[in-house]
């Protein structure tokens, strides 16, 4: 397998990425814990197996053989390792680490899919600021809303109504999560990385009552 591990540092957040070509996952199962091996064996699709194993190879390079746990909403954590977030796109997986505050990470390959579907996740006000004809901008919008979803701490989310985006600077956006009783606000860092968009929150969540 052709592996390339990279590390990006932004203030107190570290983002590790692993890009890979097609490979035989069974050759790398020594990077899996016993619990992960049981889960791996339940996957049927080769693409999902590769993503799962590639994530564990990356985990192993950062934390050793520590197990990745998941909480009640499916968010990952590793005991005694601060806050982490995991994402994957075509032939790329990533792990973000912040020692101080909750972190959300999303990776997306730049393509026309988000551009074609933008009406499903952007509201009318957002379309005044974001160009729906740009596949790069639409991919960044989708990636930003995926990041907000990971930070929301709940699963019943309407991407148009509950997740809002504003531009602060070219690659620094403001994200809001609209909850019934309060609003979560974060800064979102947008990174162009080869043919991908990387998005993560570059600030802790601020909470305001509605």
User: Residues 79, 110: one domain?
Assistant: no
91-137 confidence digits (pLDDT tens): 999 999 999 999 999 999 999 999 999 999 999 999 999 999 999 99
**Which residue stretches of 64-134 are H helix?**
113-116
125 phi/psi in degrees, rounded to 5? -65, -40
* Helix (H) and strand (E) counts in the chain: 4, 12
Angle CA(93)–CA(97)–CA(98) in degrees, nearest 5? 155
Last residue of a domain, one of 66, 98, 130: 98
Q: Residue 54 in 3-state DSSP? A: helix
Asked which of 53, 72, 98 is the last residue of a domain, the reply is 98
Query: Span 44-66, mean pLDDT?
Result: 94
Listed range (62-66, 103-107, 146-150) with the worst mean pLDDT: 62-66
Q: Indicate yes or no: pTM above 0.85.
A: yes
Q: Give dist(CA 32, CA 58) in Å, integer.
A: 11
Evaluate whether 141 touches 126 at the Cβ level (below 8 Å): yes
> Does residue 196 share a domain with residue 121?
yes
**How do 196-201 and 105-109 pair as beta strands?**
antiparallel
Q: Residue 87 corresponds to which tokens in the numbers above?
A: 């994402």
User: Quick count: other Cβ atoms within 10 Å of Cβ 202?
Assistant: 18
**Which percentage of the chain shows pLDDT scores above 90?**
90
Tell me which residue range forms the domain holding 68: 3-98
**64 and 17 both lie in a single domain:** yes
Buried/exposed 162-179: b ≥16 CB within 10 Å, e otherwise: bbbbeeeeeeebbbbbee
Residue 2, pLDDT above cutoff 80: no
Give the separation between CA 20 and CA 179, rounded to whole angstroms.
38
Domain count, the chain: 2
- Summarised one tens digit per residue, pLDDT across range 19-35 is 999 899 999 999 999 99
Please tell me which residue, 120 or 210, carries the higher pLDDT value.
120
């Amino acid at each position: 397998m052709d592996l390339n591990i990279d590390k990006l540092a932004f203030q107190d957040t570290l983002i590790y990425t692993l890009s890979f070509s097609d490979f035989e996952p069974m050759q790398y199962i020594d990077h899996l814990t016993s619990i992960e091996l049981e889960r791996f064996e339940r996957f049927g699709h080769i693409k999902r197996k590769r993503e799962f194993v590639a994530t564990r190879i990356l985990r192993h390079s950062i934390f050793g053989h520590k197990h990745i746990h998941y909480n009640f909403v499916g968010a990952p954590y590793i005991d005694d390792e601060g806050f982490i977030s995991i994402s994957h796109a075509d032939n790329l997986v990533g792990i973000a680490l912040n020692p101080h505050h909750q972190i959300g990470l999303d990776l997306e390959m730049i393509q026309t899919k988000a551009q074609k579907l933008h009406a499903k996740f952007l509201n009318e006000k957002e379309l005044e600021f974001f160009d729906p004809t740009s596949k790069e901008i639409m991919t960044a919008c989708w990636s930003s809303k995926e990041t907000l979803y990971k930070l929301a701490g709940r699963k019943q989310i309407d991407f148009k109504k509950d997740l809002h985006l504003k531009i602060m600077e070219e690659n620094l956006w403001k994200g809001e999560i609209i909850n019934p009783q309060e609003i979560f606000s974060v800064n979102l860092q947008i990174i162009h990385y080869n043919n991908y968009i990387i998005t993560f929150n570059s600030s802790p969540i601020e909470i305001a009552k509605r």
